[in-house]
Amino acid sequence: MTAMGIKIAPSILSADFARLGEELRAIDAAGCDYIHIDVMDGHFVPNLTFGPPVIEKLRPHTKKPFDVHLMIDPAQPSLADYAKAGADIITVHAEADKHLHRSLQMIRGLGKKAGVSLNPGTPESTIAEVLDLVDLILVMSVNPGFGGQSFIASSLGKIKRVRDMIGGRKIEIEVDGGVNADTIGDAVSAGANVIVAGSAVFKGGDYAKTIGALRTAAG
């Protein structure tokens, strides 16, 4: 367990889209820490989900922080819309847009926490120059686009290297993709403290039980 504590962030990508408000209230009551919201544009990733109007409608259903993972390119033109819709953390991909530094400045300028995400094929050196502009680093442990994929083991080395790289900075490390009771322990040992779990939570039936089991398995 890191000094910052383990946070469980269920990804609503695996929730019942026809009952999203209800699903949000259920994971809130089940004790989650963040609500992980996957925004996909059918261009940066081969899948399409939802945008600011849906997030805005979800906002009144919980007070828990909205952890908005933007898998969109470009992201800059709509950052203000996501801030306005109720995002607390806005994470952009290092592979999207042309000017990562500017994207992060924009997010902080909107008064939100800034996150940057790395695809499995992107080295951590890509973000070495922006560490003082980020509040969260999201290490993808699957190729983004879909829930229910298998955890890519080489992500563990990257999480460790990111943890070393950030030194004493107050930056959260989030892991996303294929995390379940079997993989969470290794991700936490490597240095992740925010754990995204989509299918592991929503396909598990009893959300409180599943979130509790994840916390136990996190060690």
**Which residue, 14 or 210, has its beta carbon nearer to ligand DX5?**
14
Please report, as a single letter, which amino acid is at residue 8: I
Catalytic residue among 41, 67, 97, 176, which? 176
The footprint of ligand DX5 on residues 29-58 (CB under 6 A) is: 36, 38
Site string for ligand DX5, 160-199 (x = CB under 6 A): ----------------xxxx----------------xxxx
CA–CA separation, 176 and 190 (whole Å): 14
What residues contact 91, with CB distance under 8 A and at least 6 apart? 67, 68, 69, 70, 114, 115, 116, 117, 136, 138, 174
Catalytic residue among 33, 38, 67, 135, which? 38
Number of residues that bind ligand DX5 (CB under 6 A): 21
Closest to 95 in 3D by CA, of 49, 143, 47, 164:
143
Q: What is the largest CA-CA distance in the chain?
A: 43
Residue with smallest beta-carbon separation from ligand DX5: 198
Least spacing, CB of residue 180 vs ligand DX5, in Å: 7
Query: Strands (DSSP E) along the chain, which ranges?
Result: 7-10, 35-40, 66-71, 89-93, 113-118, 136-140, 172-176, 194-197
Say whether 176 is catalytic: yes
**Which residue, 71 or 162, has its beta carbon nearer to ligand DX5?**
71
**Which residue, 51 or 105, has its beta carbon nearer to ligand DX5?**
51
Using DSSP's 3-state secondary structure scheme, residue 62 falls into coil
Q: By the criterion CB under 5 A, which residues form the site for Zn ion?
A: 38, 69, 176
Q: Which residues bind ligand DX5 (CB under 6 A)?
A: 11, 13-14, 36, 38, 69, 142, 144-145, 147-149, 176-179, 196-200
Catalytic residues: 38, 176
